[in-house]
Chain A
């Protein structure tokens, strides 16, 4: 073989690529293994390795395929994936281009979930028409959740921060395991029996699909559907939808998100009060102006009739009333005006733009949804930093929650 043609590196890689990618077995692979090194790129593509005890292979799942994932791929998770083997020519590496991926061992559960979802959808449990609106005035909020978890703390602190006037009633409940669904159902019924709250939040922090399984319970779905009080589900996973999420009147991606939905900020009430004050002052000022004109006209009318003493008497009387009224009001109005200006200045000082000018930034996800908690962030997640004078895209290197 001494006459073998001398190849360039590119030619070799090209040859291997053509050889591998035309193989019909390698075009339609189904492989099992364990996930490792899972990375989600800013572009939405998912990169990871699939490994077993002795070997590993690099995999890429492009954005359009990754969108269809029904679970959040995690380190060490056992999966079955389908795809094709491809060669990345510049580095001569081969990898699997993944078309679809399923967690292993969840197959039966998944089937049960899908069957229940279809059945309940058929019964009209998810119908938009049946969904109740949140009441305009929310004075008391019922939380069905674990009284010791992070979720309850998050919800209480967000509600209190937005509106310290709201009453919170906690119904302590298990939120995972066999008894959780029964607990939550009891909570829904307890609140409905006494009608002591305006809205119910069912909440728990994130977890694996197994952890969230209690929220795929048919009886729980029925209880949510039959509740007279509106229910917000906040079963903390942005990607997975549980049956409870579908039946609930409103779904929040996280417990914190639910707290934001139900608590009207006191700031809006302050603004409404300030506006009312301006309005009252305007109306009364216009009235005084008009009244003054009437007084002047009456004076003129009286002068025309000329019964001298009467006129003098009346004029004195009118002047007196007029003066008294104007004096009383002017002081009052001036005072209220000043107060109004004070409050407006206070509101402006609190506006987010001014806060941003002081060096704080507001963080949102790629879609502009505010991120209020470190728990909403994952490594390599793309976020947008909003400064007073512009925006920056950034990706998260690492996160650490305050304990």
Chain B
């Protein structure tokens, strides 16, 4: 579910950008959002480098680890 996890963060990022674009917002609140946004971006970049999806095989309706050899 690594992709979903990442996409959730990215959609929060979109919300942050939209909130920031609101002119009526206090500078303190904007600063907080900016910090949160940058933190999220850096987290996402790290996720892209480190997260890895699982490969499983269905046996009798259960997912088990796939042991076939696959070179990427």
Interface residues of B in 20-59 (CB under 8 A from A): 20-21, 27, 30-31, 34, 37-38, 41, 44-45, 47-48, 51-59
CB distance from A111 to the nearest CB of B (A): 37
Count A-side interface residues using an 8 Å CB cutoff: 47
Check if A225 is an interface residue, CB within 8 A of chain B. Answer: no
Contact with B along A326-350 (1 / 0, CB 8 A): 0001001000100000010000000
Q: How many A-B residue pairs have CB under 8 A?
A: 128
Whether A291 contacts B38 by the Cβ 8 Å rule is no
**Assembled-state Cα–Cα distance A168/B3 (Å):** 12
CB distance from A250 to the nearest CB of B (A): 19
**Assembled-state Cα–Cα distance A269/B41 (Å):** 11
Whether A280 contacts B68 by the Cβ 8 Å rule is no
Say yes or no: A270-B45 contact (C-beta < 8 A), given A168-B56, A291-B27.
yes
Name which residue of chain B comes closest to A148, CB basis: B68
Q: Select one of B1, B20, B31, B57 contacting A140, CB under 8 A.
A: B1
CB distance from B57 to the nearest CB of A (A): 4
Q: Select one of B2, B10, B57 contacting A169, CB under 8 A.
A: B57
By a CB distance below 8 angstroms, the chain B residues around A156 are 55, 70, 72
**Assembled-state Cα–Cα distance A148/B59 (Å):** 15
Whether A168 contacts B17 by the Cβ 8 Å rule is no
By a CB distance below 8 angstroms, the chain A residues around B58 are 169-172, 187, 190
Whether B3 contacts A137 by the Cβ 8 Å rule is yes
Name which residue of chain B comes closest to A163, CB basis: B3
Whether A160 contacts B72 by the Cβ 8 Å rule is yes
Overall SS of chain B's interface: helix
CB distance from A283 to the nearest CB of B (A): 5
Whether B72 contacts A169 by the Cβ 8 Å rule is no
Check if A379 is an interface residue, CB within 8 A of chain B. Answer: no
Say yes or no: A276-B68 contact (C-beta < 8 A), given A168-B53, A170-B57.
no
Contact with B along A141-162 (1 / 0, CB 8 A): 0000001100011001100110
Q: Select one of A157, A163, A171 contacting B71, CB under 8 A.
A: A157
Whether B72 contacts A161 by the Cβ 8 Å rule is yes
**Assembled-state Cα–Cα distance A279/B38 (Å):** 11
**Assembled-state Cα–Cα distance A168/B54 (Å):** 6
Q: Select one of A165, A277, A279, A280 contacting B48, CB under 8 A.
A: A165
Whether B71 contacts A165 by the Cβ 8 Å rule is no
Check if A138 is an interface residue, CB within 8 A of chain B. Answer: yes
By a CB distance below 8 angstroms, the chain B residues around A170 are 55-58, 66
By a CB distance below 8 angstroms, the chain B residues around A139 are 1-4, 7, 53
By a CB distance below 8 angstroms, the chain B residues around A288 are 27
**Assembled-state Cα–Cα distance A272/B7 (Å):** 11
By a CB distance below 8 angstroms, the chain A residues around B3 are 137-139, 163, 165-166, 264
**Assembled-state Cα–Cα distance A277/B39 (Å):** 10
Q: Select one of A148, A283, A325 contacting B17, CB under 8 A.
A: A283
**Assembled-state Cα–Cα distance A387/B52 (Å):** 33
Among A148, A264, A272, A280: residue with most chain B CB under 10 A: A280
Name which residue of chain B comes closest to A144, CB basis: B58
Q: Select one of A165, A171, A264, A273 contacting B45, CB under 8 A.
A: A273
CB distance from B28 to the nearest CB of A (A): 9
By a CB distance below 8 angstroms, the chain A residues around B16 are 280
Whether B34 contacts A284 by the Cβ 8 Å rule is yes
**Chain B residues engaging chain A, CB cutoff 8 angstroms:** 1-4, 6-7, 10, 13-14, 16-17, 20-21, 27, 30-31, 34, 37-38, 41, 44-45, 47-48, 51-59, 61, 63, 66, 68, 70-72
**Besides A138-B3, A193-B61, A280-B16, 11 new A-B residue pairs in contact (Cβ under 8 A), listed by A number:** A153-B70, A160-B70, A165-B2, A165-B51, A169-B63, A170-B58, A276-B10, A276-B13, A276-B17, A277-B38, A287-B27
Of the A-B pairs whose beta carbons lie under 8 Å apart in the complex, a sample of 20, sorted by A's number, is A137-B3, A139-B3, A156-B70, A157-B70, A157-B72, A160-B53, A163-B53, A165-B48, A167-B2, A167-B53, A167-B55, A168-B54, A168-B55, A170-B55, A193-B61, A269-B6, A273-B41, A276-B14, A284-B30, A284-B31
